[in-house]
Chain A
Amino acid sequence: MSVAVLYAVTGLGLFSLGLYALIVRAHLLRKILALNIMGSGVFLVLTALARRAPDGPPDPVPHAMVITGIVVAVAATALALVLLRRVVETTGQPRLPDPDSE
């Protein structure tokens, strides 16, 4: 197993771990963290797969994608955190309201 494949498999592992937490955890902060972990997993996969030939130089395009992806992820996390604060302020708890409770 080459290093690249190891990284890629780790990335997929992180992704699955995050997905699990996103579904199972009720606390919104944990859900946001879970999404971040999933994101890191995807970025890891992208970085790992950039090495196309075992000896040649890595492909720069996926790296550029990862940088773009990180920027997007930061923005999304910021928005999520702001929303989380507002949800806590209005409902008093860091959980999603039950949609049928209205």
Chain B
Amino acid sequence: MAAEHVSLLPVLLIFLPLIGALLSFVFRRRAAGLGIATAVAVFVIAIALAFSLTRPQRYPVGGWGAPLGIDLVVDGLSLIMLLMSATVGLGVSLYAGGYFHARPQLARAFWPLWLGLWTALNGLFLAADIFNLYVTLELLGLSAVALAALGGSAAALGGAMRYLLVSLLGSLLYLLGVALLYHAFGSVDIALLGERASAQPVTLAALVLMTVGLILKTALFPFHFWLPPAHASASSPVSALLSALVVKASFYILLRLWLEIFEPLNPGRGVTELLGLLGALAVLWGSLQALRQTRLKLLIAYSTVAQLGYLFLGFPLAAAVGPAAWQAVIYLALSHALAKAALFMAAGNIVLFGGHDRIADLDRVVQRLPLSLAAFAIAGISLMGLPPSGGFIGKWLLLEAAIEAGQWWWVVIILIGGMLAAAYLFKVIGFAFTRAPVSHEANAVPPVMEWTALVLAVGTVLLGLWVSPLLAWLATGNPFGVGP
């Protein structure tokens, strides 16, 4: 009984948001209520799954099973990703309830799109085959683009259009890789591919195509150009979703493919070093660009470019010291999701409050909007990698891996990235104390928007204290394999 019960939970994680999306599309007036109810339910189920999962689960949808049917698998890595999207998703849903309350027109579009996005996201984290990953990736991309365009300003539409083109290009590259892999090894199931795949030119071609497609979607330097305009010009709840969750999805696929199919084939140090190098450049470039920005939301968006760079340091470091590096990377990804969502929410509150996001004119928000600024500061601490926070633990683990590997150049990158993050975030915080030359009229910010931002920010602190249970969950089913 108990085992069957567990195996149903992953299915619910996909169907609940799907049903929620449909219902909120049909009953537009009650969209917000339906959306929030769905979010709460999904969150509860994700938590239940976390506590009941003792070993990896595989669920054949409709009882067909591979190779014909669609299977769902959940192991520690998927679990952490699901928990990440459940937590951020619940936070953003509550926040959006406040944000769209005054914008009913937008709310009607937001809820079905967002719940659709969530369906795709959960489906993606649970997918067992590379074609299903393609479908969920496309659904995710399309709903994300539609959400990004929601604001309707010229900047938002332009950003969304660019985002769409890049996203479709990335998916097609990925799909071509799927075609090659299927042709060569006769399966789309990741586990089967892992067993069958051998090092030959077609595998290498698939590796290149899929990797390029996915890093395009993950906005890894130098493919980051589309991210800042799209994320910064979207409405604030959407910015939070895009930066915290959507970019992680394509990274997750890349990581899965790498771990289960490509890494065992030993494609050579060139690949891992190149990915690490691009990650390092992303950290530096993204941080320096963030430091240059005068607009708050663009600054946060560039910070995402930088923070995504850290994730790619996992490739060379895992090659050197094994799974410990991936642990660090996933911890960073998880902390970044909470922190970045909180940052964009706080920024959204500041924009709503003062009507603009010019950093130099923040005009004493520390006193006038203390909860939001506290959220900003606490989330910022995690991004800088200062204790006590999840970001600190992630950086600690990553540094440990880099030092153990004796690869000092990554150590330097990690430390410089942290200092630059402190520089650009404290630039904002400093201006929050000063008085602007012209004081703007202030709009009221609904308390729920302030509190959700703060709660997510405090979540990053809890991630810094509640480490071993999370790492134990992540280790379920040994997703990173044994070390070399």
Contact = CB atoms under 8 A, between A and B. Distances in A.
A and B touch in the complex (CB under 8 A): yes
A68 B168 contact: no
B183 interface: yes
Contacts of B172: 15, 35, 38-39, 42
A54 B479 CA distance: 39
A35 B169 contact: yes
A45 B139 CA distance: 22
B158 A96 contact: yes
A102 B229 CA distance: 10
A6 interface: no
Contacts of A46: 179, 182
Contacts of A61: 67-68, 182, 188
A87 B175 contact: no
A22 B149 contact: no
- Categorize the interface residue count of chain A: 35 or more
Interface in A46-73: 46, 49, 52, 59, 61-62, 65, 68-69, 72
A75 B155 contact: no
- Categorize the interface residue count of chain B: 35 or more
A102 B138 contact: no
Contacts of A79: 142, 145-146, 164
Contacts of A35: 165, 168-169, 172
B161 A42 contact: no
A35 B172 CA distance: 8
A70 B138 CA distance: 12
Contacts of A31: 165
Given A31-B165, A42-B176, A46-B179, A97 B158 contact: yes
B71 to A, nearest CB: 14
Given A22-B165, A31-B165, A96-B161, A102 B142 contact: no
A86 interface: yes
- Which of B134, B158, B159, B164 has the most C-beta atoms of chain A within 10 angstroms of its own C-beta? B158
A80 interface: yes
Contact of A42 (B68, B157, B164, B175): B175
Contacts of A96: 158, 161-162
Nearest to B160: A83
B131 interface: yes
A17 B158 CA distance: 25
Contact of B157 (A39, A65, A90): A90
A75 B140 CA distance: 12
Contacts of B175: 42, 69
B154 A97 contact: yes
B436 to A, nearest CB: 21
Given A86-B157, A90-B153, A96-B161, A76 B168 contact: yes
B176 A86 contact: no
B179 A80 contact: no
Contacts of B153: 90
Contacts of B229: 99
Nearest to A47: B179
Given A61-B67, A65-B179, A75-B142, 10 more contacts: A15-B172, A15-B176, A32-B165, A42-B175, A65-B131, A72-B142, A87-B157, A87-B161, A96-B162, A97-B154
22 contacts: A15-B176, A22-B165, A35-B172, A38-B169, A42-B172, A45-B179, A49-B182, A52-B183, A61-B68, A68-B131, A75-B142, A76-B138, A80-B168, A83-B145, A83-B160, A83-B164, A86-B152, A86-B157, A87-B157, A90-B152, A91-B157, A99-B158
The 8 A-B pairs with the shortest beta carbon distances in the complex, nearest first, are A49-B183, A97-B158, A90-B154, A99-B229, A72-B138, A46-B179, A87-B157, A35-B168
Interface of A: 15, 19, 22, 28, 31-32, 35, 38-39, 42, 45-46, 49, 52, 59, 61-62, 65, 68-69, 72, 75-76, 79-80, 83-84, 86-87, 90-91, 96-97, 99, 102
Interface of B: 67-68, 131, 134-135, 138-139, 142, 145-146, 149, 152-155, 157-162, 164-165, 168-169, 172, 175-176, 178-179, 182-183, 186, 188, 225, 228-229
